[in-house]
Structure 1
């Protein structure tokens, strides 16, 4: 099995779904059933991994509190950074990164490239609507970024440049996130038009990228309203936030 075949079909796909006759590869009769089961397993695994919200976990274990009671009420990296300081924000980001990377790599290794996009979608859904925490989570930007980095490095670099430029010019994290996620399907389509891709990867990637974009835009609906009303808060680094204030109107968090 070559690396290209592993990337296209995964370990289980190559073993159970492919007829190998000389140099030719063809789907077996039961391949569709197996791939449907694999897609369901991939989605469930990624959702539960995504539901592990490290902002809530760290705030409860380290600070004996709930991050959702402070700042914007959002269980994400930015609110952790503002409320508990840089160390808490960095640890939250690393936790979100690791769960996204785990979901994507496990799915790709077992089932092939298309399932990495399914894993990304459901990991973001799990992060935004975690079953462990009454379906109240973060906005999925950090999780999506980590997963995209694992899947498509060139589109990730392009999206990162867009994000950095917009935030550097406007100081709005939300605007940088919104514009980057809007560009994601376009950059991904351009990437696949320039490079060969494994079987079924492009349609699955296109569908999942559009759904991820729609979901993250929905989660940023309040930010978009404030941007239009020119009431959105600009991002500034603070060494350490305060827990003296309960939930405020500041909902500029992106994770």
Structure 2
């Protein structure tokens, strides 16, 4: 029963779309209709600028933290409670029921989840992502490599808890699924780098 409760709480928190709300209030646009069509930090930076992008990242990060903390407090004796809520928050962010299941890619939310659940894993993942982005300027590549590291890190720090490792695989899988078009563009050399601006209508189907 605790799993179901955590999933419901996490999903509803995840449905809070920072990028969508910011786009509507600041520029009176649906961010999902511009740039890459994604309701996430990178697309907000391209369409609305760095300030809005930073606000989006912080908002999505905080909802991941919030989902984990709330369910940890409700079920203090269930070590997996926070991670179930976190995984559901990513699902809510990526596929929000209130926005016809078209959201973001869940990376900022995933980092928030990991920091709140196990700061060691969260810090390592954040560093991996930051270093890759700094070197290559490809946010997608940093996100992909960070996602791949999640189940590896869970197998190191939580090697006796298979339930947590399975949830770690889910976090990786959802990130890779949402980045499938980015992977194709990276392989073809057509991926955009961080800082490239775009005010065009949706460039591709996500």
Q: Return the TM-score normalized by structure 2.
A: 0.92
* Aligned pair partner of 1:186 in 152, 170, 189: 152
Give the match for residue 224 of structure 1.
183
Give the match for residue 202 of structure 2.
247
Give the match for residue 142 of structure 1.
108
Supply the distance in 2 between the matched residues of 1:63 and 1:110 (Cα, whole angstroms): 38
* Aligned pair partner of 1:116 in 82, 90, 94: 82
For structure 2, the 5+ residue unaligned runs are none
Q: CA-atom RMSD, angstroms?
A: 1.8
Are positions 1:203 and 2:162 aligned together? yes
Q: How does 1:17-166 map to 2 (within 5 A)?
A: 37-112=1-76, 113-166=79-132
Supply the distance in 1 between the matched residues of 2:23 and 2:192 (Cα, whole angstroms): 24
Give the match for residue 5 of structure 1.
none
Larger Cα-atom Rg: 1
Give the match for residue 23 of structure 1.
none
Q: Return the TM-score normalized by structure 1.
A: 0.75
Q: Which range is displaced more, 161-170 or 212-221?
A: 161-170
Shift of 1:49: 0.7
Shift of 1:81: 1.4
Kept after mapping to 2: 8 A contact 1:71/1:250:
no
For structure 1, the 5+ residue unaligned runs are 1-36
Shift of 1:133: 0.3
Kept after mapping to 1: 8 A contact 2:10/2:92:
yes
Secondary structure (helix, strand or coil) at the match of 1:159 reads: helix
Give the match for residue 15 of structure 1.
none
Give the match for residue 22 of structure 1.
none
Give the paired residue count.
204
